[in-house]
Amino acid sequence: MAQDSDEFIKNEIFNNVGQPGNSHLRIFQQTSNFDHNDISEGGLTFSVGNLKYGSCDAMWFNDSSFYYSGTQQYLNIKPIIALEGTDCLSRGSNGNAQYQRFHHALGAVKNGVIGIYYLKEGNSSVSADLYYMAYKASKIEKGTYLILQDLKVVKEILEADQDPDLQNHIIHRELNNMIQLWNIKFHGQYKNNWDIYAKKRNLVIYNDSIIKITGRNYRNFTDSSQRAGHIAVGEMYLTKYFFPDKKLYYTFPRMSLEEKNDLDSNSNSKEWNLLRKEENVEIICRDEIVNLDNKYINNLIDISTLPLKGSPLRLWNSIKKELINEFHEKRINIQANY
């Protein structure tokens, strides 16, 4: 029987990295749900306050001491690396589909741990945008975020855990590789021009804020069969870390204020909670766009529940283009209640 993607990656981690130096590896079989537990409770999920980030595939740590919670015995640990892995590059994933697991290791980075997003080499290439967002996260958050395609680097970092200078050298070497890959793309595809980048990414850039327009709708956060919620979170972090000094108005014109409020009150979606609680990010629905013409509102309502393909996609692309122009010309704006 063929292995699924997660099991395949976990076997790679176990066989090719193991437990170098004095490290211990925490990893679970695909049939286990323990990875959803917090790291303090024997799992692979990092939290910031009460906000849980996605679970990782593996973590390496140093022992500290045991403690008890009720009748359970847990190990106080010092995490070294938390890793989320995928072989999506062998499964046709390009562009924003690669961002959907970015937040899994981000919880570790926000806690001062080395977070690694491992994309096994495949037919597709890693988006240079992914390298840049991780590089910028490393400059902003407590920990370091690395995008890797070679598990040998993970082993290198772990083997150097008792030699901080060597470990820092390895980390900075990888960070330098990441920024160089982004610089090549920024120079070649975007001509070193953020306006060109913004046009390709459906962004409107102001002095102190940025508007990102996307086609996410209510169902993306209520239907477990949808992966669009994961992608929405990835695109949010992409924009946030690319422009960390600007407030991000993440705009969902296909969503109504009633639907937004319902998600706030009733949603168990981890992705929605991440979107709503991320600092300096606001989710904006169509009812919060000031001076939005009725012709747009009616068309947005018509396609609010439809899959974006065929004629609904063509209509959405037309509306999106016009909304970007309206924001640029400041004929419409965001309701000022934030």
The per-residue pLDDT for range 112-141, each reduced to its tens digit, is 999 999 999 999 999 999 999 999 999 999
Rounded CA separation 23/290 (Å): 55
Give the distance, in angstroms, between the CA of residue 311 and the centroid of all CA atoms in the same chain.
30
Mark 232-250 as b/e (b = at least 16 C-beta within 10 Å).
Answer: bbbbbbbbbbbbeebbbbb
Q: If pLDDT is split at 50, 70 and 90, which confidence band does 333 have?
A: very high
Cβ atoms < 10 Å from Cβ of 291: 9
pLDDT tens digit sequence for 277-311 = 999 999 999 999 999 999 999 999 999 999 999 99
- pTM of the predicted model as reported, rounded to 2 decimal places: 0.91
What pLDDT, on the 0 to 100 scale, is given for residue 71? 59
Residue 41 confidence (pLDDT) above 70: yes
| Domain 5-186 fold | Restriction Endonuclease (3.40.91)
Q: If pLDDT is split at 50, 70 and 90, which confidence band does 206 have?
A: very high
Name the amino acid, one letter, at 233: V
What pLDDT, on the 0 to 100 scale, is given for residue 65? 53
What pLDDT, on the 0 to 100 scale, is given for residue 165? 97
The C-alpha R_g of the chain, in whole angstroms, comes to: 21
What pLDDT, on the 0 to 100 scale, is given for residue 95? 77
- Least confident interval from 91-95, 204-208, 246-250: 91-95
Residue 251 region, left (φ>0) first, then alpha (ψ -120 to 50), else beta? beta
- Least confident interval from 65-74, 150-159, 241-250, 307-316: 65-74
Strand partners, 117: 84, 147
- Least confident interval from 28-32, 215-219, 276-280: 28-32
Residue 2 confidence (pLDDT) above 50: no
Residue 5 confidence (pLDDT) above 80: no
What pLDDT, on the 0 to 100 scale, is given for residue 8? 84
Residue 64 confidence (pLDDT) above 70: no
Q: Output the CA torsion 214→216→217→223 (10° steps).
A: 180
Cβ atoms < 10 Å from Cβ of 283: 21
Residue 1 confidence (pLDDT) above 50: no
For the chain, residues classed under CATH 3.40.91 are 5-186
Residue 312 confidence (pLDDT) above 70: yes
- Contact between 119 and 126 (Cβ < 8 Å): yes
SS (H, E, C) the chain: CCCCHHHHHHHHHHHHCCCCCCCEEEECCCCCCHHHCEHHHCCCECEECCEECCCCCEEEEEEEEEEEECCEEEEEEEEEEEEEEECHHHCCCCHHHHHCCHHHHHHHHHCCCEEEEEECCCCCCCCHHHHHHHHHHHHHCCCCEEEECCHHHHHHHHHCCCCHHHHHHHHHHHHHHHHHHHHHHHHHCCCCCHHHHHHHCCEEECCCEEEEECCCCHHHHCCCCCCHHHHHHHHHHHHHHHCCCCEEEEEECCCCHHHHHHHHHHCCCHHHHHHHHCCCEEEEEHHHEECCCHHHHHHHHHCCCCCCCCHHHHHHHHHHHHHHHHHHCCCCEECCCC
Nearest to 202 by CA among 117, 96, 124: 96
Residue 265 confidence (pLDDT) above 60: yes
- Contact between 211 and 239 (Cβ < 8 Å): no
Section 232-245 average pLDDT: 95
What pLDDT, on the 0 to 100 scale, is given for residue 230? 87
- HSE on the CB side for 224, CA within 13 Å? 1
Nearest to 212 by CA among 258, 188, 243: 243
Residue 216 confidence (pLDDT) above 80: yes
Rounded CA separation 159/226 (Å): 40
Rounded CA separation 337/285 (Å): 13
What pLDDT, on the 0 to 100 scale, is given for residue 243? 96
Residue with tokens 């090549």: 184
- Whole-number mean pLDDT of the chain? 91
